[in-house]
Amino acid sequence: MQKPECRFCRSNGLLSDGALAENASFFLLASIDPETPHGVMIITHRHIETPFELNSEEWLALPNMLESAKAHLSKWRPDGYTIGWNVGRAGGQSVAHAHLHVFARIALPGVFNLSIRSMLKKTAGAELDLLPSRRC
């Protein structure tokens, strides 16, 4: 299934850049954001909105695309990677088509690079204040 207005559905012609690699389930795009040239996205061919909708064939095809992402990012000579899905608007997803972000990370001398967890901790307090009592 494709959505005519989705910019990640390749069949509708809204995507101007070409795939760096692809397999039966995914294609790989370089980041066009000038602030994150060291990133790529692994995007589903099938229009689904979240990784919770991936089928078993897609899960099996994902490691191959992660290897392609790593190969593409090797030119940055990364010391590490940050890999993540943004799911739903509150989770940071701006395009409602499942895509996995992969970023090369470079160790900075004397600086502890922020993890996903540490970045989220900056907003967690405000989010917790808005939630009804859900403590386990």
Domain parsing of the chain, residue ranges: 10-107
Helix H, strand E, coil C: the string for 69-116 is: HHHHHHHHCCCEEEEEECCCHHHCCCCCCCEEEEEEECCCCCCCCCCH
| Cα–Cα distance for residue pair 77/8, rounded to 1 Å | 28
Q: What average pLDDT score do residues 85-90 get? A: 94
Residue 126: per-residue pLDDT: 58
Structure tokens at 36: 């994150």
Structure tokens at 31: 């980041």
Residue 64: per-residue pLDDT: 97
Q: What average pLDDT score do residues 102-129 get? A: 72
CATH assignment of 10-107, among 2.30.29.30, 3.40.50.11030, 3.20.20.70, 3.30.428.10:
3.30.428.10
Strands 26-30 and 21-22 turn out to be antiparallel
Per-residue pLDDT tens for 13-71?
Answer: 777 788 999 999 999 999 988 888 999 999 999 999 999 999 999 999 999 999 999 99
Residue 33: per-residue pLDDT: 87
